[in-house]
Structure formats: structure tokens, C-alpha cells
Amino acid sequence: MIEPLMAAEAALPAHVVDVDGAKHEGQYISHDESLAYSFGPVSQSGVVRMTVGTSIRPFAVNVDARESAIKPVSREALSQVMGAGVRIEDMQEGVPPRHVSLATAELAPYALLGVIALMLAEILLSAWLGARRQPTRVARVR
């Protein structure tokens, strides 16, 4: 079992709890030009929990391939299995085309332009008001 990690996670303590609840230490390795944590091999099927720092990552290991053999079924067969009270909707036909409104549009470019305009106005005002000031006179004390 090899799990990719972020570089900051290299300093964190890590361990793996196997299917039986036993705690095992793995090792940090270089994998695909990045940091990874390696443990194994795992002989039993079930859930293995890897802990890195305070983060717990569960993994299903040695899963029976028949559990993921999902086959399409006809509407009639699904209706027979589910019963008469189930209505089947075809989402491909009923979905209207997506229109982006102003409320959902990305506002970051407009906010950035506003900040730039504000900064330019500040520069121009400081130059204009700064040029109008008279230098203060310093009195000499004898």
C-alpha cells in the first residue's frame, strides 16, 4: 500500500491500523518524484486506517472484485425490483441548458480591477495634493 503525502506531512508521526486492529509502522518513501507512505503487504480484506498526524485515512483493501461489478439494468427490471411506487426520471432529457447569471458569475476579476483603480486614484491624489503643499519654514535659533 502506497499513499502519496504532502511535503509538510513528512515531519508528522504516521502509523497504520490493520483489519485486526493491530498498529504497524510503515516508512516514508519517494514515489513518482514525491513523498509517499508505504505499508504492506496486507493479506486480509477489510478496512485499513492510516493515521498521519491527526488525519485518519481509511482504505478498503483486498476488496472482492464482484462488489464493483456494476452492470446496467433496464427500466422495466428496475421498476420490478423497486416496486410500483417508484418514478424513474431521465436526467439527460429533463435538464435545461445551464445559464450563468450575474449572481453566480465570478467576481474576482472585477474586484481586482476595482482595487487597481483605487490604487491609481490614491497615487494621483497624493501626487496632486503633495505638490500643492508649501514646504515648512524652519526658524533658526541663535
Say what the pLDDT of residue 108 is: 81
Question: Phi/psi of residue 121, each to 5°?
Answer: -65, -40
Say what the pLDDT of residue 113 is: 94
pLDDT-flagged residues of the chain (< 50) = none
Chain-wide mean pLDDT for the chain? Answer: 81
| 3 state SS of 122 | helix
- Architecture of domain 2-63 in this structure: Sandwich (2.60)
Rounded distance, CA 54 to CA 14, Å? 9
Say what the pLDDT of residue 122 is: 94
Say what the pLDDT of residue 97 is: 59
Boundaries of every domain in the chain: 2-63
Say what the pLDDT of residue 103 is: 57
- The whole model's pTM is what? 0.45
Question: Phi/psi of residue 67, each to 5°?
Answer: -70, -25
Say what the pLDDT of residue 81 is: 80
Rounded distance, CA 36 to CA 19, Å? 21
Do 37 and 50 meet the contact criterion of CB atoms below 8 Å apart?
A: yes
